[in-house]
Amino acid sequence: MTAPSDVSVGYIGLGNMGAPMAERLLEWPGGLTVLDTRPEAVEPFTAAGAAAAANAAELAAGCDVISVTVLDDAQVRDVVTGPGGLLTTARPGTVIAVHSTISDATAVDLAAVCAERGVDLVDAPVSGGAAGARKGTLAVMVGADEAAFAKVREPFTTWAGLVIHAGPVGSGTRMKLARNLLHFISFNAAAEAQRLAEAAGLDITALGKVVRHTDAITGGAGAIMLRDTTAALAPDDPWFPILAHARSLGEKDLTLALELGDRLGVELPLGTQALADLGTGLGVGPGELAQQYSMKENA
């Protein structure tokens, strides 16, 4: 069996994310081959010692693990199964890792097509943005069977600070979508908080500094994502007093914020929803303040 460090790696797509990820593979012992439609993107890699392929088929013919970072589902399908695509030359045992955020259904469908050729396609979307890619600290969520995951884990550690085996093919994408659901809902919540602060005559750039500073200390929303289930907690569960305390603090502060919004004439729909749902979401049920606010609103 080929040692993980001896596998040859290919990288397709040298954009804002792909280039810094591939750059960290330049010293990979098994060698690196790159492909991009733009010669100017490829040139720094060949100057640093990487090989360049003219097309996906040429790259696949000489690589054991192939990373793909392109725009969307259509481009992924074209790279993998299109004319001159990876499957035209990929050898059995090759692993194709898709880092693009695509539909989980696309990942499962392409994996089935690849399996007919003895090739493993895994979905391995990343989180951490361009800054994380430049620092080599990305999180990568891999949907793969155990054997395929074992092949990609070591190459991925060159550019990722966290490599998670999310489950079978499709699981990496589903985890990324759940993560991004939180991300973009939090953007909406940030906008709501800014509206409240602005109406109160505050400097919202200063508020942003406070949020970034304290989230770096507390971990933000991820700080409560420690349980292995979302089921309701029994009162004797060790987590119950911890999360009940979080609920009490949250309901108090949400109530005060909503009262401020009422006085200033600022609608806070996310805040209202959060007060109603916080205790249930934490698994401890609504607290007294949430129940009182609900009765007041329904009166």
Residues involved in catalysis: 176
Instruction: Report the C-alpha gap between 128 and 132 in whole angstroms.
Output: 5
Pairing of strands 32-35, 95-98: unpaired
- Adjacent-strand bridge partners of 242: none
Kindly provide the residue ranges of all beta strands, DSSP E only, lying in the chain, ordered along the sequence: 9-12, 32-35, 51-52, 65-68, 95-98, 120-123, 126-127, 138-143, 160-167
Radius of gyration over alpha carbons of the chain, in Å? Answer: 24
Instruction: Report the C-alpha gap between 29 and 247 in whole angstroms.
Output: 51
User: CB neighbours of 22 closer than 8 A, spacing ≥ 6?
Assistant: 11, 14, 32, 34, 45, 50, 67, 159
Instruction: Report the C-alpha gap between 38 and 13 in whole angstroms.
Output: 9
